[in-house]
């Protein structure tokens, strides 16, 4: 499916079967999710905005690349296990990027800015979180329920010249104070 616009649907805006590819589409103002794609799907160069639940929800082994999620009620991007999310932007959702599985996603080269809750919420294990940027997210920029069970690039904060030579570095601003890489710290875990 490519080059389509879906708006104001009373359910999901775009709902696909397994293994489908969606490219260069817009899904906005829908009652449920902007995109709902089961396992093995690819969504690329597409936009989800102002949807009633998530912008993008994908199942096991899916790829989301070069997409934008803005002002969705819950997650900008919600992914199952063994998924790749690359080059995406989440802005002004409740949660920017959410690992809704038990393991094995890769979040890279993506931006989470101005979520009402958390930029990157990683609940499983075996996930790779590298080369991302998170800033101005209200609760936390990055939150890992099991940081020792994931592959996390170094977290760099502002302060002038980049001194790390790690190609895996993540960038994080210093606000809010709770840029958490650690246990739940008393926070009730989402979902």
pLDDT tens per residue, range 89-111? 999 999 999 998 877 999 999 99
| Of 97 and 162, the one with more pLDDT | 97
Q: Are 30 and 53 in contact (CB under 8 A)?
A: no
Domain 5-158+167-172 CATH superfamily = Single-stranded right-handed beta-helix, Pectin lyase-like (2.160.20.10)
Residues with Cβ < 8 Å from 98, sequence gap 6 or more?
75, 77, 78, 79, 121, 123, 190, 191
Instruction: Give pLDDT, residue 190.
Output: 52
Q: How much is the mean pLDDT over the chain?
A: 90
> What's the average model confidence in pLDDT over 129-135?
96
> What's the average model confidence in pLDDT over 103-132?
95
Residue 99: name the closest of 144, 69, 135, 132 by CA. Answer: 144
> What's the average model confidence in pLDDT over 19-37?
98
Instruction: Give pLDDT, residue 181.
Output: 54
What is the b/e burial string over 132-170, where b = at least 16 CB atoms within 10 angstroms of the residue's CB?
bbbbebebbbbbbbbbeebebbebeeeeeeeeeeeeebb
CA distance 75 to 103: 18
3-state class of 86 per DSSP?
strand
CA distance 137 to 76: 13
> What's the average model confidence in pLDDT over 40-63?
97
From 13-27, 115-129, 149-163, the region with the lowest mean pLDDT: 149-163
Of all residues in the chain, the percent with pLDDT exceeding 90 is 74
Domain limits of the chain?
5-158+167-172
Residue 108: name the closest of 83, 125, 91 by CA. Answer: 83
| C-alpha torsion 119→46→126→98, nearest 10 | 40
């Amino acid at each position: 499916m490519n080059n389509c616009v879906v708006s104001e649907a009373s359910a999901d805006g775009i709902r696909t079967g397994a293994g489908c590819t969606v490219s260069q589409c817009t899904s906005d103002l829908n009652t449920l999710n902007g995109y709902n794609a089961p396992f093995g799907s690819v969504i690329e160069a597409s936009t989800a905005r102002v949807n009633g639940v998530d912008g993008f929800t994908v199942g096991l082994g899916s790829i989301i690349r070069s997409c934008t999620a803005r002002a969705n009620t819950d997650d900008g991007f919600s992914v199952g296990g063994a998924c790749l999310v690359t080059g995406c932007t989440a802005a002004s959702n409740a949660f920017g990027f959410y690992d809704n599985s038990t393991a094995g996603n890769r979040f890279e080269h993506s931006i989470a800015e101005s979520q009402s809750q958390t930029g990157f919420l990683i609940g499983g294990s075996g996930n790779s979180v590298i080369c991302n940027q998170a800033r101005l997210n209200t609760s936390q920029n990055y939150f890992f329920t099991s940081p020792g069970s994931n592959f996390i690039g170094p977290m760099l904060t502002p302060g002038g010249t980049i001194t790390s030579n790690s190609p895996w570095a993540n960038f994080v601003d210093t606000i809010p104070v709770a840029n958490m890489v650690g246990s739940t710290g008393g926070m009730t875990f989402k979902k």
